[in-house]
Structure 1
Amino acid sequence: MIVVVDERQLVTEGYTSLFGREGIPSTGFYPVEFGEWVNTAADADIAAIEAFLIGQSDESFALPRAIRDRSRAPVIAVSDQPSLETTLALFDSGVDDVVRKPVHPREILARAAAIRRRLTAISSFTDIGPIRVFSDGRDPEIEGEVFALPRRERRILEYLIANRGRRVSKSQIFSAIYGIFDEDVEENVVESHISKLRKKLRKKLGFDPVDSKRFLGYCIDWK
């Protein structure tokens, strides 16, 4: 999920629409509302955020520090009228990158992915047993063969593997896949996606690597 912060509603709505076309959940905040939310939001909600996009605001230089108290997700500033002084000040405030408008949402996603790789010093893929998932949107592989999945199922598999070895709840998966403020989709849709994913994994692997326990959630691990 991408969080967009800007004092102009037209801007936040524009970005959330563009990210939606790319299949990425997002939400927009006014700066004051965001400052209050980021300090009080549940840890699970904060963990579902893939990147923060900071636009025009009187709080532009204070927000990155507030974010850093809660999250290590990439913080990208969007500058309408960039200058060397402004760019340096934004970096000093704690942002990870500064981009100039107009910028395509795919570029923002690519920059966020690059920042995450640098921050965590990991490769562009993660292996668990014979399963390999990628951080650049490609379909996963099983034993070296492409394992094509619909976008929602792929993102669920990526989320489970990113949290391998520990249980995640249906609510956490929903927040990561659909966004923490999506009221148009029922949370139970996650069960349908996971059921289809597990059926495909079982057919490919000969067994189901996803363990589920009622009220506790889902876990994927390799013994």
Structure 2
Amino acid sequence: MAAPVVLLAEGQPDLRALLRETLEDSGFRTLNAMSADDLWQAVDDVDVSAVVLDTAMRGPQGMDLCRALRERSNVPIILVGTNSTEVDRVVGLELGADDFLSKPYSTRELLARLRAVLRRGRGDAQVPVRRRQEARFDGWHISFTRRELRDPAGESVALTGAEFDLLTVLSDQPQRIIARERLMEMSGSRGTESSDRSVDVLISRLRRKLAHGKIAAPIVTVRGVGYMFSAAVEHA
């Protein structure tokens, strides 16, 4: 199996060099991107497995790059930023990032988070072991084998790995309240200072994608407890 390719879109040369050495010593291949142009060329030319994206990248601001990259691809994105606030982290997750690390951070922590988002992308995150291959609810169709969601019109709906894992957990236990902490554990959310809020952000993103016409998404907030998938689900 070919080594995963990680694109390092990091504005600090010394940190970029350190990350490259750490990742390559751990079995990854790396590509460097020092500007937005470098990033797009790499994404267009190479099958990139994940992107580490500095919010302070030159050219378009890193957050804008995150949004644009997510619109074009489901590649896992880890945002990193200096002096990041909770608002920065939430905005980054809203724009489609799979994780957010505040500088300074340890290379070991980045490596662990990188492996986690890659596991989710391959479909072997910490979600219940299943024999079911698909599920249907309110005209929607989930294929667990293809990790694909189709709306009632039959159109494919792009989900990030984290969004699909969350939908898997919710649809596995329809019409049951699941505590936020349990959702984090079951869907593979990271145990970080931002993970508590990240579940809420993922729920918000998933709701927008599950809304169809005037019909709201079947995800109910149970205040102070967690969330419930309100639709009846048929598994096969």
**Scaled by the length of structure 2, what TM-score is found?**
0.43
Give the structure-1-normalised TM-score: 0.45
